[in-house]
């Protein structure tokens, strides 16, 4: 079985209704990949010194991330342990929905994901099994620049609880990408209900007090839409990025900002902080952006045929509905691959 979905076959339409992403659970991973059912690895933002050298510590103090992606069963286990029912159409990683949403921006990109419908809950679970990003020159060092920027921009506790030595010695610590804090959110996009999990780089100030997770679902275990008036922590979260700086007239810069927006939008992250660096990895400028302002900031620079945030959301809504309807035509536990090999089409194949 093979089915294709073409971006350009999606008719113009109003932007689908999208609910605010609401955190329903969180977890941490230690540097040894031990699963911790808490927010102990949540880092706190503290501005790094300008003109920091993002090469410092490479490769001696760099602990590269493990080669294989995490299975989505980690998130399923967290939700089950916390007693949160998976009342949703999809359970997957934020990064994979970002890939589907932003695929039209990358006609030369290649990736593949795996899908299966859980026979008990009926939810479609989606994951990567191997890394599928396109490689490029100097990749290891440039990836390190991003990890290093995160390391020198964060503290293990809010700044006034940290010692002067902790603040001033950030440049000398090991860079360990496998140590992570992850947020699990529910979000509705059109008719599709999603539970997404994604890494959070840090928090702007302090995670607000929220109701206990036992308060966000009803007696029968289903998540309540308005179970608590507690403040949603996601708006306090920060996404950290590094990039060369180009004017917004540059298509590559607009495309990069669109991806930053999509990634943060799907998890409900409130701020994006970009560390602009030169060709040698020296941090030369910092820029703070509110996620919701990026579409408005880019609007004057879009060309008639550009992919805009609204167009990407319309295509994403249709793609999710297409995946749902196609998978539901087959028995539960049937496995599929969803692939993108450039051009303008997603391909869904049944694994025999």
- Chain segment 93-104, per-residue pLDDT in tens: 999 999 999 999
Q: Is residue 132 very low, low, confident or very high in pLDDT (cuts 50, 70, 90)? A: low
200 by DSSP, 3-state: which? coil
**In the predicted model, is pLDDT for residue 225 greater than 80?**
no
Is 220's pLDDT higher than 60? Answer: no
Distance, CA of 116 to CA of 92 (rounded, Å): 11
Helix ranges (H only) for 29-163 are 73-81, 94-102, 139-152
Closest residue by Cα to residue 195 from 316, 88, 319, 313 = 88
Q: Rounded to whole angstroms, how far apart are CA atoms 246 and 248?
A: 6
Provide φ and ψ at 300, rounded to 5°: -65, -15
pLDDT at site 229: 56
Residue stretches of the annotated binding site for substrate: 33, 93-95, 182, 199, 241, 263
What are the residue ranges spanned by the domains of the chain? 2-209+229-350
pLDDT at 215: 45
Q: Classify the C-alpha dihedral 86-88-94-96 as positive or negative.
A: positive
Q: Which tokens sit at 198?
A: 């994604």
Which residues contribute to the annotated binding site for a divalent metal cation?
150, 201, 239-240
**What is d(CA 207, CA 200) in angstroms, rounded to the nearest whole number?**
12
Query: Tell me, what's the pLDDT at 130?
Result: 86
Q: Please give the C-alpha separations between residue 93 and each of 90, 103, 299, in angstroms, as whole numbers.
A: 10, 16, 28
Secondary-structure percent of the chain, ordered helix, strand, coil, rounded to 5: 30, 25, 45
Binding annotation = 33, 93-95, 150, 182, 199, 201, 239-241, 263
Is the confidence at residue 19, as pLDDT, over 50? yes
Share of the chain above pLDDT 90, in %: 84
Contact status, residue 233 vs residue 23, Cβ threshold 8 Å: yes
**Cβ atoms 321, 191 nearer than 8 A:** yes
On the question of pLDDT at 221 being above 90, the answer is: no
E strands along 226-266, which residues?
A: 237-243
Using 50, 70 and 90 to split pLDDT, how confident is the model at 135? low
- For 282, the 3-state DSSP assignment is strand
Asked if residue 302 lies in contact with residue 67, where contact means CB atoms within 8 angstroms, the answer is no
pLDDT greater at residue 145 or residue 1:
145
Residue 125 has a pLDDT of 98
- Which residue matches tokens 């959110």? 185
Mean pLDDT computed over 22-34: 96
**Which pair of structure tokens corresponds to residue 35?**
């699963």
Contact indicator for 281, 294 with CB cutoff of 8 Å? no
């Amino acid at each position: 079985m093979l089915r294709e979905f073409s971006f350009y076959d999606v008719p113009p339409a109003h932007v689908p209704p999208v609910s605010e992403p609401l955190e329903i659970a969180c977890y941490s991973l230690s540097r040894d990949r031990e699963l911790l059912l808490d927010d102990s690895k949540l880092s706190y933002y503290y501005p790094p010194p300008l003109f920091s050298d993002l090469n410092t510590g490479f490769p001696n103090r760099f602990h590269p991330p493990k080669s294989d992606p995490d299975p989505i069963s980690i998130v399923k286990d967290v939700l089950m342990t916390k007693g949160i029912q998976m009342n949703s159409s999809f359970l997957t990683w934020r990064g994979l929905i970002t890939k589907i949403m932003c695929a039209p921006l990358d006609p030369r990109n290649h990736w593949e994901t795996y899908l299966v419908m859980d026979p008990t809950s009926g939810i479609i679970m989606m994951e990567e099994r191997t890394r599928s990003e396109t490689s490029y020159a100097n990749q290891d060092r440039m990836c390190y620049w991003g990890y290093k920027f995160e390391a020198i921009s964060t503290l293990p506790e809010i700044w006034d609880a940290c010692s002067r030595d902790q603040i001033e010695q950030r440049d000398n610590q090991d860079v360990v990408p496998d140590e992570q804090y992850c947020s699990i959110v529910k979000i509705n996009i059109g008719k599709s209900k999603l539970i997404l999990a994604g890494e959070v780089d840090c928090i702007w100030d302090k995670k607000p007090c929220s109701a206990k997770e036992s308060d966000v679902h009803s007696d029968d275990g289903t998540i309540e839409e308005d179970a608590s008036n507690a403040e949603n922590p996601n708006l306090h979260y920060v996404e950290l990025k590094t990039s060369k700086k180009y004017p917004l007239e540059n298509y590559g810069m607009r495309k990069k900002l669109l991806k930053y927006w999509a990634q943060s939008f799907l998890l409900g992250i409130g701020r994006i902080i970009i560390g602009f660096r030169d060709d040698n990895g020296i941090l030369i400028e910092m820029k703070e952006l509110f996620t919701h302002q990026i579409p408005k900031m880019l609007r004057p620079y879009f060309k008639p045929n550009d992919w805009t945030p609204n167009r990407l959301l319309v295509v994403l809504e249709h793609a999710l509905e297409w995946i749902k309807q196609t998978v539901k035509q087959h028995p539960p536990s049937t496995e599929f691959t969803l692939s993108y090999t450039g051009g303008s089409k997603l391909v869904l194949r049944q694994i025999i």
